[in-house]
Structure 1
């Protein structure tokens, strides 16, 4: 027994039934903040090109913004309403907010420190975040003219006094306050300038070097041009975040109308966070606190950059030498062998596409061909997020205009995509698509496309089941799986799923897939329980899973039971994990790792040993749209799809999942005692799963090409996981 094991035994001397909630589970919100710490740590990764490091810093900022606008806003709302609901680890909303505030302040300090470290490195490469030393006479002249011609005409200074109502500050809005003294008589005046969101966050000064100045600094620099006859005694910049969640009322009579008004309400949500300059005038701060109603809001002060997510503008600088080498996804050879005919390729054998390593174009082509094919009679499609320029939407419109029966399930409750989804719904309806909005109180999160085709031997159903969205942009940066099949059982189950969504016809049973909230949870429980039985009977027992989040108490407790029975559990969880791994007597047979790298891990996979040593052709393997979270299992329509085709089974288990388990270069291990994550230290040569997938074609998409060149087989080394 190691010293750490002895320490843990001392900490957890009692049977796990006597452990408190805090000793059994990690807090959901603090676990998310730990995830964002790992994202932020990539900004310090010297193996990455410099602008990619800046991108991770920016991402950590936008992640934190959304966390504040949704999760913290929800807890603050509970606190205001007197809700005392405990978190999974036994904390009240107030206790959680206090812990979150401490952690957020630490994170923001780390962000500013990392930015300070990156600035000289960027400057050495000719990219500058302008300070006084970078603004020479020529730059000053250009900036002054740019301000007068392009910026000042769209700014509206507003006096702050009893005669002028306090202006509304939009969500994520940036503004500046100015203390002015009239030169003529010495009278005092406070002016506010709100910076319109349509203006660029950073302005690039012309020149060979890339020199950027933040818009708020530009406004402060030339504020005297806005206030002739006044002396500027002081200024300060601030930024506001508001509650951005939309709660759906079950009695909403018209869901479309409800969301149109709810989107407007969200823009005026309660202030959750006020960011201000460290040297912000105390009287001005007091005025902001009073006018913005900040009784329950968090106020942070910084001597660095406000709104660090805005650095994404600088990341866009055209410097390919400071970014990851461009990567072009492969188009599946299996489909090309059938002259690009998706239906012929799928009819021959199931195929799975691994994004972003394989092109999302094949998903679009599947729908485009369905739209143009006279043999296709019906298309049904779920749409959770489709993006602003959506070839999927275009294909559905083309199909409807060609006279096919087209049904689209558009999810209005997809957070921050509600407005775009309303737009798509209108366009689809105008083209003759039957648009369904699903359930009022459940989100339709399942990613399913179903095409019915008239063939010589009758009607055949072709299905696409995905772990990600039908979104062409995220498909280039998210790792997801697209499973194409003409299996009649899966086709019939897809039809039952759509009937459930569109007509509330709950299926009495399904032949293959499990559906949330009907039986997906129970199916996972049964699969875990079978592993427990196998372990107790002396048969090989193991569970491998890859998820974005694990917060659902029932699943966690089942995994604890599996660990105690001797089931070997390895979990690859990118984000939130409320399970405590490696606790003696509770979870000593569970390992949790997180992968953070060039691509965002998004696919959901479950593998169960089924009485054989993993990896095995006899293991039970599933892909899913659902994470192991209460919302996915209780309040969303999701799908859990079994993988039975041998080649696809091998690809998902022995290539995709195993590579994630073997990764050492982008992996972090969870310490079940502290909740902290430590980078995996590789012995000898490391293994990078993203590089492996970029350089090794997937199995099921290769077709006859496999006969000429084999894909290197991964081997589970002893002690690797």
Structure 2
């Protein structure tokens, strides 16, 4: 039940008819099949990424980068989502599905959709991006297209740089079929012994530490950069690896394994030891996808299927080259005209130094007023990093507390915490070592923090700590003052240049008290207390959002102003979606801006006429979460780390903070309205469940690019304030 102490949510006074604060659910008024399948919705998201790669109006190296992103995304989807579904089916665990279908049928649809998308992905490379690169003077060639002089140069490179690290593994009665690591690119080789006439099989791993695309020596001097895929270079020199043998067949293949980490926590278990054991197990997870080149012969394929124990439905025949993640390397070619125009993040106006070449005084600036920073348009380095570095140096700072979900060991964030501890400050780092695929790295630098004297804790049993919080305690005039940062993105300087996020700096005493209690509970035992300017999961966030949504519904029924705007990465949670359906049915205009998965259906008669769903993908990864409610003309706006998924609302520690400064509320609402405008380039979710791209006007002119417009607006705003 929802607690009626409304001050704990900052929602104003409760209406007399609030009962106990709970939102009544009348599912009988909602259609049965009212959700999109989350896995198929994810595939639709990755299709939108692919459509950017197919767009000839984008710089060609950025298109290559989008092809690599698509490939990387799909790998993770199989390693986690598909693997998780299969694991639950095999072990007999209940498989949650919001579409009322058997999980085997969902897996069949995933297989069909993934096959279609991977073939489209391969064609986009071969028919669209590769020719466009060639038009720009960058050729990715086959061995047959190389003359003898260049072959000789490549052979020298092969002998000096490649051959010494190759490790062919034979398969015969004395050598069992070798272990195939997940996501590795391999050559399956069939050979014949010239003396005995016996056929043998060998596996050769393409070394992942070498450049995937080998530049032909001297080609750039001719004005055309020419590259050969590494596996082709190796394939045409197999005779050096198998002297005296006849090479019958050689084909590339790639295996995807189940790499989802499952930690069964209990009160007595050492989390780090359990996680390290699980990471070791991950390497040997069962296969879930086998990618092979389309020309692979049946004998070789049958052998792989038998030895790897995969089904024919798990085999993906594709035009080469496999593993287009290698295009990340090509996308870094230094050809500025083939990339997006350079953008240098500006320093937020409030944090600009008072004097040229001076340092900003963050404490003075934040005491003056809350500061809302929008990354990457405004610099993460000159805001979050610089604030933390000043706090580490400042003799008046007594304590620093921070959550860390994804960062890097060489990060200035980690170094600032170490510096603060070495200066004698109390430093608490709440490290989430269960951040997927960053587990091993997080363990390493968490131990580095511990050695420096930082108090490192690993969160609560059974929960991931996903909130983005930084809390600094400073002594001023004999009193303690709190300075806080609540963000929507990770404390990671590298990804901050690519991810769109917001961060709020405040010295508000109530936020400080909320964070003091929250950090105490995170380093203690459980999240139980209520908070006044924060909404915190897992106990209060879902209830608070349901209450806010239902208040808009009741306002609409009473004829008062009502509107809901929600921006998230994923919209899956059925309770939240049903609440939005009921609000829409009551006349509330509901705008949902979602980057990835969305289980909302539009086109439901009498239910979703007032719901609009849009998606924006582009140069930067839209990552911020915004929740805005009209509230009868007194808008309430929150930002934070939570997506509308079961895990975020029920199994993670998340935090949303209410944005109160009128100019910040306006900035967030204006951004939202620009995103939802029909004049802005975006994907529209239609009644059939398809995402339709709208990027050209009826006259064929490009629609507004939200990210370019935001970049321009922030730069203009900064210049205008500088003039004043």
TM-score (norm 1): 0.92
In structure 1, the residue matched to 2:256 is: 241
Out of 148, 157, 161, the position equivalent to 1:137 is: 148
Deviations 1:122-173 (A, max 9, x none): 1121111111453111210011111112111111111111210211111111
For the residues of structure 2 that align with 1:16 and 1:210, how far apart are their CA atoms?
A: 61
Helix, strand or coil at the partner of 2:175: coil
1:127 and 2:128 correspond = no
Shift of 1:285: 1.5
Match of 1:108 among 91, 107, 118: 118
What is residue 689 of structure 1 aligned with on the other side? 706
The alpha carbon displacement at 1:309 in A equals 1.8
1:373-392 matched pairs, under 5 angstroms: 373-392=394-413
- Confirm whether residue 310 of structure 1 aligns to residue 326 of structure 2: yes
> Which residue is 2:23 aligned to?
none
Q: Structure 1 residues 538 and 574 mapped into 2: Cα distance closer, same or farther (>3 Å)?
A: same
**Residue 84 (structure 1) shift:** 4.5
Equivalent position of 1:528 in the other structure: 549
Report if the CA contact (8 A) 1:450-1:462 is conserved: yes
CA deviations over 1:379-410 (Å, ceiling 9, x no partner) = 00000001353110000000000000000000
In structure 1, the residue matched to 2:3 is none
| Aligned-partner SS, 1:510 | coil
Please tell me whether the aligned partners of residues 450 and 464 of structure 1 are also in contact (alpha carbons under 8 angstroms).
yes
Structure 2 residue 228 is the aligned partner of structure 1 residue 213: yes
Asked if 1:38 corresponds to 2:55, the answer is no
Normalized against structure 2, the TM-score is what?
0.92
In the aligned structure 1, how far is the partner of 2:211 from the partner of 2:409? 20
Pair 1:146 & 2:157 matched: yes
Kindly indicate whether the alpha-carbon contact (under 8 Å) linking 2:603 and 2:686 is maintained by their aligned counterparts in 1.
yes
Tell me what 2:166 maps to: 155
Partners of 2:30 and 2:454 in 1: CA distance? 54
Report which stretch shifted further, 310-319 or 96-105.
310-319
Q: In terms of mean alpha carbon deviation, does 662-671 or 63-72 score higher?
A: 662-671
Q: In structure 2, what is the equivalent of residue 73 of structure 1?
A: 83
Aligned with 1:112: secondary structure? Answer: helix
CA distance in structure 1 between the partners assigned to 2:600 and 2:631 by the alignment: 23
SS at structure 1 position matched to 2:402: strand
Name the residue aligned to 2:194. Answer: 183
Counterpart for residue 348 of structure 2? 332
Aligned partner (choices 396, 408, 416) of residue 429 of structure 2: 408
Q: Answer yes or no: is 1:53 the counterpart of 2:63.
A: yes
The equivalent residue for 2:238 is 223
Candidates 239, 253, 257, aligned match of 2:273: 257
Match of 1:29 among 27, 39, 45: 39
The yes-or-no answer on 1:272 pairing with 2:311 is: no
**Secondary structure class of the residue paired with 2:523:** helix
> Which position in structure 1 is the counterpart of 2:73?
63
Residue of structure 1 equivalent to 2:372: 352
Cα deviation 1:322-353 (Å, max 9, x = unaligned): 11111100011211255511111001110011
Verify the 8 A CA contact 1:662 1:689 in the aligned structure 2: no
CA offset digits 1:18-73 (Å, max 9, x no partner): 7664x300000000000000000001212211111111111111110110110000
CA contact (8 A) 2:143 2:233 kept: no
1:422 matched to 2:438? The reply is: no
Distance 1:698 1:658, change over 3 A: farther
- 1:505 deviates by 4.7
Cα root mean square deviation, aligned: 1.9
Which aligned pairs between 1:593-608 and structure 2 lie closer than 5 A?
Answer: 593-608=614-629
Structure 2 CA distance, aligned partners of 1:16 and 1:628?
19
In the TM superposition, what whole-angstrom CA distance separates every residue of 1:636-690 from its partner, at most 9, and x where no partner exists?
0000110112222222222x32332237453000013334434355456732211
State yes or no: 1:660 paired with 2:671: no
Equivalent residues of 1:555, 1:628 under 8 A apart = yes
* Residue in 1 that maps onto 2:644: 628
CA distance in 2, matches of 1:275, 1:707: 56
* Distance in structure 1 (CA, Å) of the matches to 2:514 and 2:94: 41
Q: Map of 1:533-612 to 2, 5 A cutoff? A: 533-612=554-633
Mapped partners of 2:658, 2:680: distance in 1: 30
CA distance in 1 between partners of 2:536 and 2:312 (Å)? 40
2:210 aligns with one of 191, 199, 204? 199
Deviation per residue, 1:275-304 (Å, 9 max, x gap): 111121212212212221224971101123
**How far apart are the structure 2 equivalents of 1:549 and 1:681?**
26
1:451 maps to 472
CA distance in 2, matches of 1:542, 1:564: 12
CA contact (8 A) 2:408 2:492 kept: yes
Partner of 2:297: 281
Q: Partner of 2:13 in structure 1?
A: none
Greater Cα shift, 414-423 or 142-151 = 142-151
Give the Cα separation in 2 of the matches to 1:581 and 1:297: 32
Are residues 119 and 681 of structure 1, via their aligned partners in 2, closer, same or farther at CA, if it must alter by over 3 Å?
closer
Q: How many equivalent pairs are there?
A: 686
The Cα shift of 1:509 comes to 2.2
Seen in structure 2, the aligned counterparts of structure 1 residues 564 and 142 have a Cα distance that, compared at 3 Å, is same
Tell me if the contact between 1:582 and 1:591 (Cα under 8 Å) persists in the aligned partners.
no
Please report how far the alpha carbon of residue 358 of structure 1 lies from its aligned counterpart in structure 2 after TM superposition.
Answer: 0.3
Q: Deviation digits for residues 207-260 of structure 1, max 9, x if unmatched? A: 222211222111111111111111111111110111111011023610111111
d(CA) in 2 for partners of 1:438, 1:84: 27
Q: Which stretches in structure 1 are left out of the alignment for 5+ residues?
A: 1-14, 613-617, 710-721
2:452 corresponds to: 431
Distance in 2 between the 1:186 and 1:670 partners? 61
Distance 2:118 2:502 in 1: 34
* Structure 1: distance between partners of 2:144 and 2:174: 41
Q: Deviations over 1:67-113 (max 9, x none)?
A: 01100001111221233434111122211110000000000111111
